[in-house]
Amino acid sequence: MLRRCAPGSPGPQPVVRALPPSASALRQRLRQWAERIPEAEAVLDLLERCPEHQRKGRFPVIVFEGLDATGKTTVTQAVKDTLNGILLRSPPACISQWRTVFDDKPTPIKRAFYAAGNYILASEIANASTQAPVIIDRYWHSTAAYTIATETSGKVQDLPPAQDEVYQWPEDLLKPDLVLLLTVDPDERVRRLQHRGLEKTKEEAELEANSLFRQRVEESYRRMVNPACQEVDASPSKEEVLKTVLQLIEKHCDF
């Protein structure tokens, strides 16, 4: 992902290849680390088994994005039950056990791990969507939004401009039919987190401690294109949110 600016034009510092732009670039990066990190070799092996240019089946593929405590787990399960669908998550189960390993590694290989997870997940989506509607808890937009927000310092205005190629979906990655971005008021989100009583991830600690980082993540989500995110206010009751979500699915997806 490389932001192109007109010569001499002002603007934020470019996000330069923060994420490998394709599966082939991912394989190359994983190979560079495979000798030092056995888990990188295992991820590479899974990635190389995935067919290129995967196509989804006849059933719709619906992605849910959003920060922690915006209700993704509750909503995805409810939608899965309502549509008699298949629920998948990113990173996929086959590599999620290595998440803590890569979270402690240098940034380039950590990002390669999460990006590779999307391509491995795409193989599962292609198969599952031949059988039933597919509901996904996070996909490429999460990987990209957190990378962009981390690579950019300062305020929302310092993000790469809208229409920048960093917000584009990778050409060789299976696309969903619909992406729903769940949002809640920041104070309500913190209240929900406290109610959970769970240990914070590094990501969540950063979101809570740094409001500018949170704003950059949310705005990056909103700037994603091809496909864009449809924003859903997840503050109301579970029943109301589910009703809104199902209406959007009926509007945008063919069964």
Q: Write a three-state SS string for 76-115.
A: HHHHHHHHCCEEEECCCHHHHCCHHHHHCCCHHHHHHHHH
Tens of each residue's pLDDT in the chain, 255 residues? 333 333 333 444 456 467 888 999 999 999 999 999 999 999 999 999 998 888 999 999 999 999 887 889 999 999 999 999 999 999 999 999 999 999 999 999 999 999 999 999 999 999 999 999 999 999 999 999 999 998 988 899 999 999 899 999 999 999 999 999 999 876 666 675 666 555 555 655 666 557 888 899 999 999 999 999 999 999 999 999 999 999 999 999 976
Q: Is residue 109 part of a domain?
A: yes
Predicted local confidence at residue 18, as pLDDT: 78
Q: Is residue 1 part of a domain?
A: no
Q: Which two tokens stand for residue 86?
A: 């298949």
Whole-angstrom distance between the N-terminal and C-terminal Cα of the chain? 34
Cα–Cα dist 143/226, whole Å: 15
Question: Residue 116 sits in which domain range?
Answer: 20-252
Q: Which parts of 82-196 are beta strand (E)?
A: 86-89, 134-137, 178-183
Predicted local confidence at residue 2, as pLDDT: 38
Q: Is residue 194 part of a domain?
A: yes
Burial (Cβ within 10 Å: 0-12, 13-18, ≥19) of residue 144: buried
Is 101:108 a contact under the CB 8 Å cutoff? Answer: no
Report the CATH number that the domain containing residue 143 is assigned in CATH. Answer: 3.40.50.300
Q: Is residue 8 part of a domain?
A: no
Cα–Cα dist 168/144, whole Å: 9
What's the total number of domains in the chain?
A: 1
Q: Is residue 237 part of a domain?
A: yes
Q: Is residue 9 part of a domain?
A: no
CB count in 10 Å sphere of residue 150: 18
Is 95:46 a contact under the CB 8 Å cutoff? Answer: yes
Question: What is the pTM for the complete model shown?
Answer: 0.87
Predicted local confidence at residue 250, as pLDDT: 95
